Amino acid sequence: MSRIIENVGMLDLTQATEETVTSIERIGNVGLVIYRAETAHLLTLLKNAGNIGKTLEIPEGHRYYSGTLRLNEEYFQLLEQPDRVFVNGTVIIDKGVSLEAFQSGTLHLVVNGEVYAPRHLAAAVTSALLKAGGASAEIHAYEYEPRFESGKVQLNNAYLASNSEPMELVLNGMVHLDKELDMEQFSARIEKIQVNGKAIIHEHQSPYFYDKLKKINGLVEVIPAGFEYVTKPLRLNARSVRRFKGHKLYTNKPLILEADVTRDAFSQAVSEIQSTSFIICGEEIEDLVWERCPNLNTEIVSYERLFVFISGEETWSRDQLAALGQPASFIVDGTLTFDDDVTEEDIKASMSSLDLFGEVVVGEKRIKGILYPYLRANNGSIIVKGTEEELAGIGNVGMLSL
């Protein structure tokens, strides 16, 4: 059975066969292909692959290691036979490894990635690395052993207090510096920072953060001074809006204002909004919302009396549409599917406008045409069932072995 696979970070052909490669009907862009000499011919079979960033051949006689390889003193002491290793990823040599142990070992190391070595070994490691097969290694000489974090990391005072020695941080994923983070302690406890992903910091933290930032593969998002960072969709009504007293909000998530939020309540609660997402509000306060949103990337969608917000996947029938009792503004950020029995009359009776940030799936082309006059924001798509591109396989993949 043929498979379709979306983008792949790394494609491992070291154990692949012609059968496994030809079973892939189509594959998206590939960041890196790893292969051995005996599987090199399989590269020519990847005819339906997208762009390939880099190919690496594992040198003959080398074992293959993917990920993070940590080497300690004991490893080198027990190394009686030559160890030939090809590493795609990160190599960490423990601080306790002596120069004598390292030099007496018979390690033949090829690295495509990064090598962290204590300062007293940096020169020896650099000269010992073998250059082969297009692999490229970046060597980091450290004084304090690096600490690796992956995923979503909240860097707060408790985190700093968890380690008595200065730290070199390598952050893979997304790191958020807590607003209340003691920046003097941050300067004292953090030696260097490397970010592979995204860092979210507050404006007052910028000088401290950039002073420690050694390298970033990604981006830094700065929350302006005086703003509260809203990390999830926020839905406010007449009661919940009272918790805010002239606040400034910074968000990349939807903000929803219920119909009972009055002009006076909104004016008192929110003084400014910086958003890269959209805001749903009643027509009566729409002008106030515009005034408080200087960012031109903010989309504001209003409703007259009733709105339906679709953020996930929902299927609506004609009975559900009829139950609304009046036309509503439909705001679709997920996927809205209309049952096949939904008619033109049902749409006209139940929909006053359509703001599209996701997808609407309809049963026939005629219904698609009927929906267009209702469109206001159009950042999504309307799809007719049966014409959508089916993904007969899997989505984006970090590493794929065939």
SS (H, E, C) 123-185: HHHHHHECCCCCCCEEEEEECCCEEEEEEEEEECHHHHHCCCCCEEEEEEEEEEECCCCCHHH
DSSP string for residues in 202-231: EGGGHHHHHHHEEEEEEEEEEEPTT-EEE-
* pLDDT tens-digit map of 280-317: 999 999 999 999 998 888 999 999 989 999 999 999 99
299-303 and 307-310 beta bridge pairing: unpaired
Amino acid letter for position 276: T
Nearest Cα neighbor of 336 from 319, 360, 307, 308 is 360
All residues at 6 or more sequence positions from 257 whose CB lies less than 8 Å from its CB, including other chains = 236, 241, 266, 279, 280, 281, 282, 285, 289
DSSP 58: P
The fraction of the chain above a pLDDT of 90, given in percent, is: 56
**What pLDDT does residue 286 have?**
95
Instruction: Specify the pTM.
Output: 0.73
Higher-pLDDT residue of 215 and 401 is: 215
In the block, tokens 């009733």 appear at 306
The CA angle 306-311-314, to the nearest 5 degrees, is 85
Tokens matching residue 218: 């990604």
The predicted pLDDT at position 325 comes to 92
Task: List, for residues 132-190, the tens digit of each pLDDT value.
Answer: 666 788 888 988 888 889 899 999 999 999 887 888 999 989 999 999 999 999 999 99
Would you tell me how many other CB atoms lie within 10 Å of the CB of residue 208?
17
- Per residue in 319-351, pLDDT (tens digit) is 999 999 999 999 999 999 999 989 999 999 999
Question: Is the pLDDT reported for residue 399 higher than 70?
Answer: no
Contact (Cβ atoms closer than 8 angstroms) between residue 377 and residue 354: no
Place of tokens 């290694």: 137
Residue 400's pLDDT band, with cuts at 50, 70 and 90, is low
